[in-house]
Amino acid sequence: MTAEASTSVVEHKQDGDVLLVSVNNPPVNALGAAVRQGLMAAMEQADASAAVKAVVIVGQGKAFIAGADIREFGKPPVQPFLPDVCNRIEACSKPVVAVIHGAALGGGLEIAMSAHYRLALPGAKLGLPEVSLGLVPGAGGTQRAPRLMGVKAATELMLSGQQIGAKAGLAAGLVDKLDDGADPVAAGLAYARELLAQGAPLRPVSATPGRLADKAAAQAELDALRADTAKKSRGLFSPLKIIDCVQAALDLPFAEGLKFERAQFLACIDSPQRAGLIHAFFAERETAKIPEARAAQPRAFSKIAIIGGGTMGAGITVSALDAGLVVTMIERDAESIARGQANVEKVYNGLIAKGRMSEEAKAAIMARYTPSTRYDDIADVDLVIEAVFEDLEVKKAVFKELDRVCKSGAVLATNTSYLDIDAIAAVTSRPQDVIGLHFFSPANIMKLLEIVVPAKVAPDVVTTAFELAKKMKKVPVRAGVCDGFIGNRILATYKQAADYLMEDGASPYEIDEAVRGFGFAMGPFQVTDLAGGDIGWATRKRRAATRDPKARYVEIADRICENGWFGQKTGRGFYLYPQGARIGQPDPEVLAIVDAERARKGVTPRPFTAEEIMRRYMAAMVNEGAKVVGEGIALRPLDVDVTFISGYGFPRHRGGPMKWADMQGLPKVLADIEAFAKEDALFWKPAPLLQKLVAEGKDFESLNK
């Protein structure tokens, strides 16, 4: 091989009669400006050199090309633009082969679709995930994918953002050939030579309608997808734009379709949804960057114990088994352990019933599960997660047992939602090994894992917890000890704001509707009904003695619970659920209770628009979020954002509460809080951090760096 003029991120070398173009821009070969320039130069070289008969494009490292460089979005664009690079590749006068190993996503797949031939290796991941960043594919993807795959498959790939493997890519028409080898360069060179030997022609996708040839059938597919997307896209901006772009692929000549796509892409770039979604993408990767990571290697773990097989214990057990760990579950007695095991098996049986798991696969998983009622059986485990009743004394008794039986160096974790983990650690002789692992329900599904760091824990226990999160495919967020940690503490505050709104004049149904309109899947009163009103009621009763007597307290939920109306499980709560219905209906008797409570408190109800409801709801969330960051409970504002997106149904396209506040402008949010404080100075006390940032003209983002 002889080296030709190359840039540092795109090398091109002559190998016999093939020009090997190799993208080397770690970690994922994103298409930054230098890569785009390098690819342009390589195509010039290919056209100019008579010695080049074919071109092979490969990616170095673990990916082919993972797409446009997301960090460039929102900054002034730099030439050459990606659509021009794609067109240049397609216009090359020599056949171009793209060799896909690892990720070929977004712009990466658009580069591959601009090549004349696509070869895929095992482990290839093909996708157009722009929609999850609030975008449409912007380098010809919406025009070339339907030509290659047909309207239905291409549009579904773009709307779902999902990745498909090499074989599925071949079946879909996205890939021309598979190669079982592990070396992309060798496979690509061999394929290029095979094509040259066959005299294979240039095959620009743009030159023919391909699978769009049957226009009527294609239009029918697109109409059905448009109707479905309009129903499901819930205020999202880019899904319908994707449909519009595919319509352009059907209606317009290729070059016109590309222009249309570009205009939609730029409109998406300007949308706040793009800013929110891209913030979420990076924030989710940042939360694992914690101070302990630099100093402390995680402890090894393969065998773990779960104490308690109730709702959470069973879900955590499934998560651990799915992560390949060996699990012993401990329960109080024979009856409880049988129930615990049944709770675990129910999850797998559900998958079997849906045809998503075989009996054999379940048996293989359950072979790593041992039920027990004896603590002595967990003497040799590496890590324990306690998920017994939320009662400090019960938990202390369990931790004394763990301290007695567990081997030295075992990590001892609690799944408590609110309790003081320092106090739990203090009953053991090894507080350095005790940590909080706050999973969310259902624990085998929910992505969020709050890793709660008590005062005396050792740094390598913290990194072990993050390692466990990675194995379980969770999104970990580091939190400090306080009542409710990050999520439940902030939830308690905005729930209170919702209660005040209800007592002041908005109905629970209006509040839920406003919250859904903002993008949450459910409003706060629907959530209460789903979780069970009795849980919050028990907490309120427990806290009654320590509640600030000057703080406003709304009793409506207590009145509802006093009737035994605990939500879905009892058939009524804030809503009615006739015959086990899952979607509630407004209940006139609840409205009567609300009216009676207002009258008892002497409140004259006033109307609130959805916008006014959300201003208060969000102001309460952001203010408490700022307190949580200011007190060091959350490391950065982005940790609050990720907590809410991954654990509390916060609409991802708004980027999380702190990002939302930045986008509103912090002075505006603070002005709202100060205005509300005129009604209730105790509840609406502005967070010192928020005041400081406003005074300095800064935003939350300045603390994420």
Residues catalogued as catalytic: 110, 130
* Residues 6+ positions from 690 with CB-CB distance below 8 Å: 622, 623, 626, 666, 669, 670, 673
**Residue from the set 387, 406, 621, 690 that interacts with ligand NAI by CB under 6 A:** 387
Enumerate residues 10-39 that contact ligand NAI by CB under 6 A.
Answer: none
Pairwise CA distance, residues 312 & 441, whole Å: 7
Q: If contact means CB under 5 to 8 A according to the sort of partner, which of ligand 3HC, ligand NAI, none does residue 38 touch? A: none
Q: Does 28 participate in binding ligand 3HC (rule CB under 6 A)?
A: yes
Pairwise CA distance, residues 618 & 49, whole Å: 61
Q: Do strands 96-100 and 117-120 pair parallel, antiparallel, or not at all (unpaired)?
A: parallel
- What's the alpha-carbon Rg for the chain, to the nearest Å? 29
For 582, half-sphere exposure in the C-beta direction (CA atoms, 13 angstrom radius) is 1
Q: Among residues 164, 133, 135, 132, which one has the least CA distance to residue 148?
A: 164
Q: Does 657 participate in binding ligand 3HC (rule CB under 6 A)?
A: no
Based on CB atoms, which residue is closest to ligand NAI, 61 or 649?
649
Question: Residue written as tokens 């054999």?
Answer: 360
Q: Which helix (H) or strand (E) holds 449?
A: strand 448-453
Q: Does 103 participate in binding ligand 3HC (rule CB under 6 A)?
A: yes
What tokens were used for 650? 């916060």
Window of 41-49, 64-72, 295-303, 305-313 that interacts with ligand NAI by CB under 6 A = 305-313
Enumerate residues 407-426 that contact ligand NAI by CB under 6 A.
Answer: 415-417
Q: If contact means CB under 5 to 8 A according to the sort of partner, which of ligand 3HC, ligand NAI, none does residue 387 touch? A: ligand NAI
Q: If contact means CB under 5 to 8 A according to the sort of partner, which of ligand 3HC, ligand NAI, none does residue 159 touch? A: none
Considering Cα of 555, then 560, then 563, then 566, what sign does the dihedral take? negative
**Residue from the set 29, 317, 328, 336 that interacts with ligand NAI by CB under 6 A:** 336
Enumerate residues 133-172 that contact ligand 3HC by CB under 6 A.
Answer: 133, 135, 137-139, 141
Give the residue ranges of DSSP H helices in 139-237: 141-149, 151-160, 166-172, 184-198, 215-232
Enumerate residues 432-461 that contact ligand NAI by CB under 6 A.
Answer: 439-441
* Residues 6+ positions from 697 with CB-CB distance below 8 Å: none
Question: Three-state SS for 353?
Answer: helix
**Residue from the set 167, 259, 285, 600 that interacts with ligand 3HC by CB under 6 A:** 285
Window of 10-18, 103-111, 237-245, 293-301 that interacts with ligand 3HC by CB under 6 A = 103-111
Based on CB atoms, which residue is closest to ligand NAI, 260 or 440?
440
Q: If contact means CB under 5 to 8 A according to the sort of partner, which of ligand 3HC, ligand NAI, none does residue 336 touch? A: ligand NAI
Convert residues 31-70 into a mask of x (bound to ligand 3HC by CB under 6 A) and - (unbound): --------------------------------x--xxxxx
Kindly compute the dihedral angle of the four CA atoms of residues 325, 27, 79, 7, in this order, to the nearest 10 degrees. Answer: -160
Q: Which residues on adjacent β-strands are paired with residue 451?
A: 437, 478
Q: Does 93 participate in binding ligand NAI (rule CB under 6 A)?
A: no
Window of 94-102, 108-116, 331-339, 661-669 that interacts with ligand NAI by CB under 6 A = 331-339
Based on CB atoms, which residue is closest to ligand NAI, 140 or 371?
371
Question: Three-state SS for 105?
Answer: strand
The nearest distance, CB 444 to ligand NAI, in angstroms, is: 12
Give the residue ranges of DSSP H helices in 323-450: 334-353, 359-366, 392-405, 421-426
What tokens were used for 487? 């999520």
Helices (H) and strands (E) in the chain, counts: 29, 20
Cα 110 to its chain centre, rounded Å, is 24
The nearest distance, CB 601 to ligand NAI, in angstroms, is: 31
Q: Does 475 participate in binding ligand 3HC (rule CB under 6 A)?
A: no
Q: Which residues of the chain form contacts with ligand 3HC (CB under 6 A)?
A: 27-28, 30, 63, 66-71, 82, 103, 105-107, 110, 129-130, 133, 135, 137-139, 141, 282, 285
Q: Which residues of the chain form contacts with ligand NAI (CB under 6 A)?
A: 307-313, 330-332, 336, 387-390, 394, 398, 415-417, 439-441
